[in-house]
Structure 1
Amino acid sequence: KAGVLENPKVDMIFGLHSDSRFQVGEIGYRYGAAMAEPDEIAIKIKGKGGHGAAPHLTVDPVVIAAEVILALQKIASRMIDPTENIVVTIGKIEGGQTTNVIPDEVNMLGTVRTLNPELTPKIPGMIEQILKGITSAYGGDYELNYDFGYPVVMNDDQANDILIEAGKEFLGSENVKEIPMPSMGGEDFSFYLQKVKGTFYRLGTANPEKGTTGYWHSSHYDINEDALPVGAGFMAYLALKALEKL
């Protein structure tokens, strides 16, 4: 939006992300779709609270929410072509204050991940269909807020070719690894890739002896600073290689 890709004009762009699946000194690459679009959902299930000993006088939003969570998993398994990549996860559910009171509402937060930009716009309607059907069956109601996230990370073939050639020269052929499957994680580097040809690759950080093998965003993750000079050195070499090729 600020025009950073226009002055000076950027012809190709490269980005990296640490990855403990690869050893220090290795890089990982992938052609095509590499990371998913990470959308966010917020759902409120509206019921009618009351005493836990008299559920027949209530509209229990906890029970409704439980059915909704299970039904949302059918989007991937029964409502979409099984060859598509999609994840629907509810990561937070909150409702009620004590053991013997049925609350008036339950709030849920979750994420939807897709790799097909043509599929993504269809998902809110599927969620809406499930919510409407289940809540109406029990006399409840709902609110849905669907927030579309970053686009899919779509790597450019030419940029990957340059990356691989530079990697073999700088790191050695044995240290340039193809990533066999896309990640369902998301990355805002994808906005750059919508404007400029480029690729987003992985920089190895694993070292079992130092205990740096934990996955990203987990309590076991620990940065391996030995990877920093490798990453900086290779990125500089990659930029020079790209300038030769373009």
Structure 2
Amino acid sequence: ADMMFGLHGWTSVKIGHVATKVGAMMASTDEFYVEMVGQGGHAAAPEMSRDPIVAIASFITTVQQICSRNTDPFDNIVVTVGQVHGGTANNIIPMSAMVHGTIRTMNPDTRIMAKKRLEQVAHGVAAAHDVEAKVTINEGYPVVINHEDAVARFLDVARGVLGDEKVSDKAEPTMGGEDFAYYSSECPCCFYQLGLIPDGVDSIPSVHTPHFDFNDDALAIGVKVMTALALS
């Protein structure tokens, strides 16, 4: 392919506007599963058990040191635990407890470091609590990289369709991920933000929240820009 272009509806950009930038646009996405395996027992006799709940709770807080103590403050990284599972009753210490989370980075070296440190933290916390850690890290999407030539073409075409004042080359990068990233290694690419905020409104709920509602008025705008890019 000559060039590839992609878009995503954006809840911080006004309807009728689009935005992009050269360089890293969206983060890499890796997911992790950490299970702490101990020895179950009665909640009234914790000394006869090896409590995985306490261990997994310690891991959840300690793993944040990857961001605060292992990463340059001017680098971009997010480590989020999105799921916690463990236990079946209030008076039982379970055999195991598990978390499922995501690592987001913009820098390939930081990505490698974060995955290595997460595994070290999990096993270190497990040793401190006399339990066993089982760690699985699945590599996800790479960083979305916008190439200079593709961005230049997008800006020229989009300004012709929408007008100069509605096209920005100073988009804020995000730690969200996108499988469009795979195209970046194949040809020059540009991924851009399609505005969703309706006229007369300052803000709308973000994606991945219960109150998000896609603004259908943005569809025609996206089609116009994409058609013009194809014809260019």
TM-score by length of structure 2 reads 0.95
Aligned to 1:129: 120
Aligned to 1:151: 142
Q: Please list, as runs of the form range in 1=range in 2, the aligned pairs for 1:202-213 lying within 5 A after superposition.
A: 202-207=193-198, 213=204
SS in 2 for 1:119: helix
Deviation readout 1:155-205 (Å, 9 max, x if unpaired): 001111111112222111111124443110000001111101010001112
Deviation readout 1:211-235 (Å, 9 max, x if unpaired): 9822112111111111111110111
C-alpha distance in 2, partners of 1:175/1:124? 40
How far off its partner does 1:115 sit? 0.5
How far off its partner does 1:116 sit? 0.6
More off after superposition, 115-124 vs 17-26:
115-124
Deviation readout 1:63-103 (Å, 9 max, x if unpaired): 11111011100001001222211100110111001111111
C-alpha distance in 1, partners of 2:172/2:51? 41
Aligned to 1:27: 18
Aligned residues: 232
C-alpha distance in 1, partners of 2:95/2:198? 50
1:140 maps to which of 128, 131, 139: 131
| Pair 1:211–1:223, CA change in 2 (3 A) | farther
2:228 maps to which of 214, 237, 240: 237
2:209 maps to which of 198, 215, 218: 218
1:200 maps to which of 163, 171, 191: 191
Aligned to 1:7: none
Aligned to 1:174: 165
C-alpha distance in 1, partners of 2:151/2:102? 29
SS in 2 for 1:200: strand
1:71 maps to which of 56, 62, 68: 62
In the alignment, is the contact (CA less than 8 A) between 1:212 and 1:222 conserved in 2?
A: no
Aligned to 2:155: 164
Aligned to 2:2: 11
In the alignment, is the contact (CA less than 8 A) between 2:19 and 2:171 conserved in 1?
A: no
How far off its partner does 1:238 sit? 2.1
**Sequence identity, in percent?**
38
- The one-letter amino acid of 1:141's match is E
How far off its partner does 1:122 sit? 2.3
Unmatched segments (≥5 aa) in structure 1: 1-9, 242-246
C-alpha distance in 2, partners of 1:99/1:211? 45
C-alpha distance in 1, partners of 2:228/2:82? 41
Aligned to 2:34: 43
C-alpha distance in 2, partners of 1:29/1:124? 29
In the alignment, is the contact (CA less than 8 A) between 2:15 and 2:199 conserved in 1?
A: no
Unmatched segments (≥5 aa) in structure 2: none
More off after superposition, 57-66 vs 122-131:
122-131
How far off its partner does 1:209 sit? 5.7
| Pair 1:180–1:226, CA change in 2 (3 A) | closer
C-alpha distance in 2, partners of 1:208/1:65? 46
